[in-house]
Structure 1
Amino acid sequence: MKIFRIILIIVLIGLHYRLWFGDNAYSEHLAMTQKVAELKKANEALKLRNKIMMADIKDLKSGLDAIEEKARNELGMIKQDEVFYRIVPNYKKATNN
């Protein structure tokens, strides 16, 4: 009976060693769990970006309003006989008195 207890204790120690320090140990499991959570968060951000892009594509295919808006904002285009005014804010420099 004494030998049986010693063998059980040795087996228990061996299993605990593998759990905490062996391949695929608990610390690696925690690191992988954290990495999976980060990747899921990144995937959600990419899904949102893809949704926005698909909405832009749909708008561009459906009408001229989106095309005109893109041309005005990104290319600086204006219509014929249209006057473009750019208002530049006047920033006052702070003086140390």
Structure 2
Amino acid sequence: MKLENLSKSKKLALSILFDAIGIVTFVDIIWAPLSAYLMTKMYKGNSGKAAGAISFIEEIIPGLDIIPTFTIMWLYTYVFSKEEKKKEVITVEIND
């Protein structure tokens, strides 16, 4: 399964799940690189790489686990990003 090809709703569900795992896990030395890897697979390009680095740092530093990095990236990608809005196509039908 390619994570970057998932629908928006499936990515949101996975983001919430991954953030929950990050909060409850006590094995940050294992979860930090895994979360960075998953982030780069879910979101391609420079944004995904930057989010992966941020996710790694957030998970490896004690006390920052409460930050929902995956959900924030989902919001950035699908709510606040101008790239996504460029992809929208509006069709207007004119009847005479």
- TM norm structure 2: 0.26
Q: Please identify the structure whose Cα radius of gyration is greater.
A: 1
- TM norm structure 1: 0.26
